[in-house]
Amino acid sequence: MKKLILIILFGAFVFAGIIAFSPYRGMLIDFSIKKKTDLPFSIYVPEEGESISILLDSLKASEKIHFSKWVSLIARIRGYDSARFGHYKIDSNLGAMQFLRKLSLGYEDPIRFRVAGYKNRDKYLQEISNFFPWSIDSLRKHLGNDSSWTHLIPNTYEIYWTTSPKGIAKRIDQEYKIFWGNHRKAKADALGLSPDQVMVLASISQAETKVLEEISRVAALFVSRLRIGKRLESDPTAVYAFHELNPDEGVVRRVSRKITRIKHPYNTYYISGLPPSPLASVEPQIIDAVLQSIPKGEIYMCADPNRIGYHNFTSSFRQHLINSRKYHKSLNQRGIRQ
């Protein structure tokens, strides 16, 4: 019996040697992307030690790859029987042995994901959870706290799929430090703000106006208010607070006193200074527009009824009341009551 086992093992090693060194091994082990899928595709191994044989069968059934029956045998002989947890890119230049080594030894390929601006915290966490194998609760713990959320710079990130939530937060923080180089810090200092405060102010400014050319002026107005100790009284912060307390409510078309009187740490009608963190993610161009702001004493603004999206600015409370009456009259004429 022992002799038979030795003969079988010897034969297997000889066969493996022939395949490994044969000039015709490409014919014996045929493993390539089917012609109809020229583009690379990704394989995600969700659990450590997943069977490569089962993985091969699954890929073959999906018709993404084709290979000869010898590949599974070679995988067992060479000890490539289980795959490492991770994300792997497969393209037409990858041979059978390269494929087996890649999965067995865990030679991961990074993923790329885009974080966009104008996303609230929950939307951001929901979207980022689509890129990683972690639960949204674990992501919220490390990416949803005020510090990590404030440090989010919208960008395209390249990172390994298996990176832990804590590691993802660290990567985002690194991008934040790179973004906030000395030249931007100097501009923030000139405004009397820290980088974190600029991020919060930028999120409020972008919520106030969708006109890029107005961002600097809106930010300058808020800086002027901060300097004289006047509350920002920003409608978007009150609306944010309202939706935090009433998540099932729809779009607020008109900000009422009921909303501005809400006691909430993000409502700048209620608190002095800035909220604890941004209302939403902020694109770099918005941040830079805030840093370019030059306060000129304007401390009041009101939507311009004659130019949709634009605002009227003034340093006079009397003029502000005139602007406000015109705007509210236009809302009444359009039947916008709440």
| Whether residue 230 is found in the same domain as residue 320 | yes
* Per-residue pLDDT, 26: 44
Structural domain for 88, as ranges = 25-105
Please indicate, yes or no, if residue 296 is contained in any of the structural domains.
yes
| Whether residue 170 is found in the same domain as residue 257 | no
Task: Round to whole Å and give the CA distance between 260 and 278.
Answer: 18
Interval 285-305: pLDDT, tens: 999 999 999 999 999 999 999
| Whether residue 191 is found in the same domain as residue 299 | yes
Please indicate, yes or no, if residue 326 is contained in any of the structural domains.
yes
Say if residue 134's pLDDT is above 80: yes
Cβ atoms of 238 and 207 within 8 Å: the answer is: no
Mean residue pLDDT across the chain:
87
* Per-residue pLDDT, 288: 98
Containing H/E element for 43? Answer: strand 41-45
Cα 120 to Cα 142, 144, 179, 193, 287: the distances in Å are 16, 11, 21, 23, 16
| Whether residue 204 is found in the same domain as residue 225 | yes
Interval 260-270: pLDDT, tens: 999 999 999 99
Q: What total of structural domains would you count in the chain?
A: 3
Please indicate, yes or no, if residue 145 is contained in any of the structural domains.
yes
Task: Mark which of 105, 120, 136 sits at the end of a domain.
Answer: 105
Interval 191-210: pLDDT, tens: 999 999 999 999 999 999 99
| Whether residue 169 is found in the same domain as residue 126 | yes
| Whether residue 209 is found in the same domain as residue 120 | no
Please indicate, yes or no, if residue 15 is contained in any of the structural domains.
no
Backbone angles phi, psi at 112, to 5 degrees: -120, 130
Interval 211-254: pLDDT, tens: 999 999 999 999 999 999 999 999 999 999 999 999 988 888 88
| Whether residue 205 is found in the same domain as residue 320 | yes
Sort 174 into a burial class: Cβ within 10 Å, 0-12 / 13-18 / 19+. Answer: exposed
Task: Mark which of 151, 179, 207 sits at the end of a domain.
Answer: 179
Please indicate, yes or no, if residue 13 is contained in any of the structural domains.
no
* Per-residue pLDDT, 331: 85
**Tokens 């006109």 — which residue?**
211
| Whether residue 116 is found in the same domain as residue 84 | no
Q: Which residues contact 74 (CB under 8 A, 6 or more apart)?
A: 16, 19, 29, 80, 96, 97, 100
Please indicate, yes or no, if residue 16 is contained in any of the structural domains.
no
